[in-house]
Chain A
Amino acid sequence: MHLYPGPATGLALLFGFFIVPMLVFLSHGTARIDSAKQRFLTAIALCIFAWGIIIGAMMMMGRSISWPDILAGSMILFTAIVAFGILWSLVCWGFTTSLLAALCSIDGAANRYAWFHAYGGGSSIADFTDDRLSILLGLGIAKIDETSVMLSGRLGYVIASSVIFLRRFYGLPDE
């Protein structure tokens, strides 16, 4: 069994973990990117770019790098991006953790209304619905008019059907 990674795989392991210091770098000082989404996308783009540049430079200098090695390296980078993406979304937008943080910020006990008011910074449940709906509208999966929300074309229907299928596949109860 070969335990040593090839050059593309080894570099992917390095740059996969490098996403974290890159995110820290882009979070402070003059390099700071205000939008959390843009910050994450920039960090992963820089890591992929650096990985690709180094692989390309090594190949141009005559170093033999096999395609399975590049494929394995791509999969390792992909794994790191998805794993850190899940953690990043939990830290930035995690619903349950944000609710807990909001309750901790209130002085004394709170009823549900006051608790949610603290979570949304004064927003109502309707504002929260709009916030979550904005993802679907932004992706073009749903559209909205003055009174109602609807699935948008074939893409919306396909994705909605996929969600229902996947919930059943994983044994989750129907909505």
Chain B
Amino acid sequence: MLSILAGTLVSFASIPLIAVMLRIRSDWTPVAVFAGGIALSEGVAIVIGAVWFDRFYFWPASAAVGAIGITNFFVFSAVYKSVSLQMLGILSAQKDCRANKNLLIEVVARPAVEERMELLVAMGLVAKAPDQTYSPTVEGLQTIARLQKLQQLFGINRSGLYRNT
């Protein structure tokens, strides 16, 4: 039980550290920051266990590090990218927490779509022509070919909107 506790405490301590790293190293991808934070937690838990504990159990400590680390990452990715949660934020900022649906379309949905389109351009997966038209690059086509193989494995015929899957 002490091994689980050690993993839990170290992992909780890494949460503010990851939040600080996300602020000061904005050039790193969030996935890299979280992976580094979880790996560091695991390393610190092992060192603490090896140095201070008479009987340290690797797997229970690692289970605690993994569970807290993945939960932290899940929460971050939800508030970072979820369009639905962005809508909640907008609603809470309105008088009586009520908004016309057109506001959600213009303030959340349309910018979200346009940001993702430009993100794909910035990632080099989509090319943007001077006439404001878009086409996939070779890298973009290769990425989708890999995704489609994965989707075939899992029998997913169509992705995107929740109602289609």
Contacts and interface: CB of A to CB of B under 8 A. Distances in A.
Contacts of A2: 55-58
A160 B97 CA distance: 10
Contact of A142 (B69, B88, B164): B88
B127 to A, nearest CB: 8
Contacts of B100: 147-149
Contacts of A172: 79-80
A170 B79 contact: yes
A104 B70 contact: no
A41 interface: no
Contact of B19 (A4, A88, A148, A171): A171
A101 B119 contact: no
A91 B147 contact: yes
Given A95-B83, A132-B83, A172-B80, A157 B133 contact: no
B124 to A, nearest CB: 11
Interface string A71-97: 111011011001101101001111111
Given A121-B164, A132-B84, A167 B91 contact: no
Interface residues of A, number: 90
B104 interface: yes
A151 B97 contact: yes
A67 B1 CA distance: 9
A1 B55 CA distance: 6
A42 interface: no
Interface string B93-104: 100111111001
Interface size class of B (residues with CB under 8 A): 35 or more
A133 B87 contact: yes
Given A27-B153, A148-B101, A157-B92, A104 B55 contact: no
Contacts of B125: 100
A25 to B, nearest CB: 10
Given A104-B141, A160-B89, A164-B89, A69 B105 contact: no
Contacts of A136: 84, 87-88
Given A82-B71, A141-B88, A175-B86, 18 more contacts: A1-B57, A24-B154, A69-B60, A75-B66, A76-B59, A76-B63, A86-B77, A88-B154, A91-B154, A93-B161, A95-B116, A100-B136, A109-B129, A126-B109, A129-B101, A133-B101, A147-B100, A175-B89
5 tightest A-B contacts by CB? A27-B155, A160-B92, A171-B23, A98-B160, A72-B60
Interface of A: 1-6, 9, 12, 23-24, 27-28, 32, 35-37, 67-69, 71-73, 75-76, 78-79, 82-83, 85-86, 88, 91-104, 108-112, 115-116, 119-121, 123, 125-129, 131-136, 141-142, 144, 147-151, 156-157, 159-161, 163-164, 166-167, 169-172, 174-175
